Amino acid sequence: MNYVINQSQERFLKTLCGKYSNYKQSNKNPQLYANIDIYFRLLPWELFEGVSIYSEQSYHHSPWSPYKQSVLKLSAQKKSFILYNYKIDSPERVAGGGFKLEFLNNIKRDNLHIKKNCEMRFDEKDEGSYIGYLSKCRECIVKKNDTATYLVSEVKLNQNNFISKDEGFDTLTNKKVWGSAHGFLEFERIPEN
């Protein structure tokens, strides 16, 4: 993959991309936290004529059945980065692509659809340390059990950790409908060969 990127973009991508697990958190409190794996994998430049990333989240015991899959298109501004979120048609065709990279060849531009108002912004606080949040508060709509909810998402990212919290609130009542009941999920980067 031939990427033309600047130093700050390269630092952000090296910080984000890889495999993460919250094994330590789930092992310490298994009654509160499921064991989850997250992958962020660079995609070919040609997909968007720019930088894009495949994101996959699955329970550790069920790696072939991810519960969340997206393609993220990167837009950079000085020390901030915007990740535009795309839904994948037939996501089962690339399930497992986080660890079986050849599956990612099945991702085609025609099979991707923007998730309106669901872009995440990452601001670099210290070199290699980022805070992420939704660019448009209360506008990323997620349906859960026939209820329209708006997503509130927070991420703390550095070279070793991906710490996140996602919650959904009823668009009419502002009551919490789904999401983290016990605070942030704490993922650590898993070294890969």
Whether 87 is in a domain gets the answer yes
The domain that holds 141 is classified in CATH as 2.40.128.590
Predicted pLDDT of residue 4: 59
Single pTM value for the model: 0.93
Whether 108 is in a domain gets the answer yes
Whether 172 is in a domain gets the answer yes
Asked if residue 70 lies in contact with residue 86, where contact means CB atoms within 8 angstroms, the answer is yes
Asked if residue 133 lies in contact with residue 165, where contact means CB atoms within 8 angstroms, the answer is no
pLDDT in tens, 33-42: 999 999 999 9
Domains identified in the chain, total number: 1
pLDDT in tens, 56-95: 999 999 999 999 999 999 998 777 999 999 999 999 999 9
Residue with tokens 């980022």: 130
Which domain, by its residues, includes 53?
7-190
Residues of the chain where predicted confidence (pLDDT) is lower than 70 = 1-4
Helix (H) or strand (E) holding 69: strand 68-77
